[in-house]
Amino acid sequence: MSKATLVVLAAGLGSRFGGNKQVSNVGPRGEFLMEYSVYDAVSAGFDHIVFILKQDMVETVRARFDGRYGKVRFDYAVQDETTIPAFYQVPADRVKPLGTVHAVLAAAKYLDSPFATINADDYYGKDAYRILIPLLDGLKGAGDAVMVPYVLGNTMSKNGGVTRGVCRIRGGLLEKVNETKNIQYAADGSITSDAGALSPDEVVSMNVWGFHPAFVPVMQTYFEDFLRSLAPDELKAECLLPIMVDDLLHAGKLTVRAEASPDRWFGITYREDRESVIEELAQLHKSGAYSEPLVC
């Protein structure tokens, strides 16, 4: 197997949660949710983990992982203004990060092998990483990408609306991603969104993308074009991975192989989600899916 890198996106603002949900203690021994993702990824064959963090999280995360998995390489990158091109002036009142494309680019110097991205506050199950390893191994260059989508009904929160990239996939290839906000259950149990009613069987992106290292300059160019398009006083617009992928698909610059995961997702979007995540993880430990401590 070739080398494979997992990029853990953990620098989000957590505004709906009200704090750094990425380092919330949810496992039986106080584990962070991303500790399960790292364990599953290393078990599947990933040998390099890169965390994208806010500066105030670096030491906390480093203390959890340095030296934990023997020969696995760990790197820690910070998503901040030092990795924004010099031509762009961030508005003084802007608090929100510039998005997940910028987050990945903050780790550009570490991306020397095929890499996959995940969110730190999502639990994806073991299958996603097993699926990713051969997909990443098959990437040939900048124009090749992969994804592991999920069934929408397996990715919902009972505590409010979520954002998902609703996908159209044909013959194992991604054709379109429509970033859709406020996906939530209606009183009658149906699923509504800003784009209208959705079926629970819709296939959605959960930010499990895979790219060749040669794609990083393409991503950099896309991000710079995004910044040039912003108004000088723009405070909220974000450069997001699913929107970038959709744009490059339509421009004919990217081909994305897709292989869905059958696993059920759970994660922390709202503070109210935390208790259900604690219960889910406790059940997984009880079933023997995870041992204590989480070390391969």
* pLDDT of 287 above 50: yes
The DSSP symbol for 252 reads T
pLDDT category, 269, cuts 50, 70, 90?
confident
pLDDT of residue 170: 96
Percent of the chain, pLDDT > 90? 79
Give the pLDDT mean for 34-62: 95
* pLDDT of 16 above 80: no
Q: What is the pLDDT of residues 186-197, one digit of tens each?
A: 999 999 999 999
Q: Which CATH number fits domain 5-287: 3.90.550.10, 3.40.50.2000, 3.40.190.10, 3.40.50.300?
A: 3.90.550.10
pLDDT of residue 18: 44
Burial 224-247 (b: 16+ CB within 10 A, else e): bebbeeeeeeeeeeebbbbbbbbe
Contact of 154 with 264, CB cutoff 8 Å = yes
Phi, psi of 103 (to 5 degrees): -60, -50
pLDDT of residue 41: 97
* pLDDT of 11 above 70: yes
Contact of 4 with 115, CB cutoff 8 Å = yes
Give the pLDDT mean for 192-217: 96
Give the pLDDT mean for 215-236: 97
Q: What is the pLDDT of residues 25-40, one digit of tens each?
A: 899 999 999 999 999 9
Q: What is the pLDDT of residues 68-86, one digit of tens each?
A: 888 899 999 999 999 999 9
Rounded CA-CA distance 23/33 in Å is: 8
pLDDT of residue 17: 42
Give the pLDDT mean for 212-227: 98
pLDDT of residue 148: 97
* pLDDT of 292 above 90: no
* pLDDT of 24 above 60: yes
- Report pTM: 0.93
pLDDT category, 178, cuts 50, 70, 90?
very high
pLDDT of residue 1: 46
* pLDDT of 98 above 60: yes
Phi, psi of 32 (to 5 degrees): -80, 155
pLDDT of residue 295: 76
User: Domain spans of the chain?
Assistant: 5-287
End-to-end alpha carbon distance in the chain: 18
pLDDT category, 139, cuts 50, 70, 90?
very high
